[in-house]
Amino acid sequence: MDSSALLRLRGVVKKFGDFTALKGVDLDIVEGEFFTIVGPSGSGKSTLIRLLVGMDELTEGSIWLRDGRIDETPANLRPTCMVFQSLALFPHMTVGQNIEFPLKLRKEAPAARRARAEELLDLLRLPRSYYDKRISQCSGGERQRVALARALAFDPEILFFDEPLSALDYRLRKTLEKELKDLHARTGKTFVYITHSLEEAMVMSDRIAIMKEGHFEQIAVADEIYSAPVSRFVAEFMGEVNLFGLRADDAGLITSDILKIRAGVAVDNLDPGGHGLLMVRPEYVRFAGGERAFDFTLTGTLHGEYALGSRIQYEIETTGGMVTVEKLREDRLNASEGEQVTIGFDSAVTHFIREAT
């Protein structure tokens, strides 16, 4: 474990009556990173963030910020700040008053407060005239920016985000994701973000933690989580995926009930006598034809074709269940539904998930 980390969690347990929401969580967050915790609803991510900002008490374990233990510090005395899912902008105050709220609590002079608020309006690309606007006069995207400005006015050691973009429409969400990433780069602050949206996590984060039933399934950089998941859960959570059972006999010969395997093909991590799942993402699967030979091939009937915008998704019914293939629109397949197709992929584009024997 990295003891130079900004925020450290050690064996954090949270119980609600008989229900254990967090089952002993360890985590290190490095200063300046954009760290995202992703998980389905009920995975414990909301519980975790409430503990981190101090709105709930943990049952066991400890939380450290730099060299100080903070799990017993009340929320109002912690140097961290959160952007709420509902944004929690004060409806009885103007945009300016909202942004200045943390500064007012610190008894800063009105002129200094105003100057800082205007700086923040500039930083978030809101016109300075918004200072006197009521919250009810702001659009959804503008409110996001005001909430961010207010959190930045607090100047926290860590800025937490509790799914603040989840209520917005797709286009605005995409814009704000990029803006957040950009804001992170410009401010150099440590961002800790929770979301159930993999896409959001992938776009913005330096590192991602995947949460499942109260523990972290995997913590890694976004790319690694996508291409080298440690379990079926992570693989399936991180978007469309094809998984095939593989086993190796004691001599190291790899066999599959579904895939036709080229002689001599080796799979990383698959030791003699072991078994597990071979993962291949839909965009790496090719339609066979012509001279090209693949490490793994299988045949099925074309079941469906779906346009996803820039890409086209194909579903192919095989003896091993439905296999998903994605192609760029320009590489569209010339085949109609019900036709026999052969698909293949090479060992290099796969990832093997070992299962306990």
Partner 1 sequence: MPTSRSTRIVLYVYGILVIAFLYLPLVSVAFASVSRARYLSFPIKRYSTKWYGEAVESSTVSELLTTSLTVAVLVTVISVVVAFFGALAFARYQWRYRTTFQKLILLPIFFPQTVLGLALLMWFNSLGIIPSWKTAVVAHLVWIAPIATLIVSIRAYSFDPALEEAARDMGAGTWTILREITLPLLMPGMVSAALFAFLLSWGNFPLSLFTTGADSTLPEWLYAKMVSGYSPLVPTLGVMSVVGSFLLILTALAVAWLLRTNREARAAQN
In the bound complex, what is the minimum distance in angstroms from residue 24's beta carbon to partner 1?
26
Residue 77 binds partner 1 (CB under 8 A): yes
Residue 88 binds partner 1 (CB under 8 A): yes
Closer to partner 1 by Cβ: residue 105 or 293: 105
Residues 47-76 that bind partner 1 (CB under 8 A): 53-55, 74-76
CA distances to 18, 224, 347 from 267, rounded to whole Å, are 43, 18, 7
Residue 17 binds partner 1 (CB under 8 A): no
Residue 344 binds partner 1 (CB under 8 A): no
Closer to partner 1 by Cβ: residue 95 or 312: 95
Residue 276 binds partner 1 (CB under 8 A): no
Residue 106 binds partner 1 (CB under 8 A): yes
d(CA 221, CA 226): 9
In the bound complex, what is the minimum distance in angstroms from residue 131's beta carbon to partner 1?
8
d(CA 275, CA 249): 9
Contact 7, 35 (CB under 8 A): no
In the bound complex, what is the minimum distance in angstroms from residue 25's beta carbon to partner 1?
21
What DSSP string runs through 65-107? ETTEE-TTS-GGGSSEEEE-TT----TTSBHHHHHHHHHHHTT
Closer to partner 1 by Cβ: residue 94 or 256: 94
CA distances to 27, 90, 230, 280 from 11, rounded to whole Å, are 9, 36, 21, 34
In the bound complex, what is the minimum distance in angstroms from residue 43's beta carbon to partner 1?
21
d(CA 238, CA 179): 23
The values of phi and psi at residue 313, to 5°, are -105, 135
Contact 161, 84 (CB under 8 A): no
Among 10, 114, 275, 311, the residue binding partner 1 under the rule CB under 8 A is 114
Residue 146 binds partner 1 (CB under 8 A): no
Closer to partner 1 by Cβ: residue 11 or 74: 74
Q: Tell me the torsion sign for CA atoms 225, 231, 232, 237.
A: negative
Closer to partner 1 by Cβ: residue 167 or 349: 167
d(CA 162, CA 75): 15
Binding residues with partner 1: total (CB under 8 A): 31
Query: Which region, judged by CB under 8 A, interacts with partner 1, from 90-98, 118-126, 237-245, 278-286?
Result: 90-98
Residues in the site for partner 1, rule: CB under 8 A? 53-55, 74-78, 80-82, 84-86, 88, 90-94, 96-97, 101-102, 105-106, 110, 114, 132, 150, 154
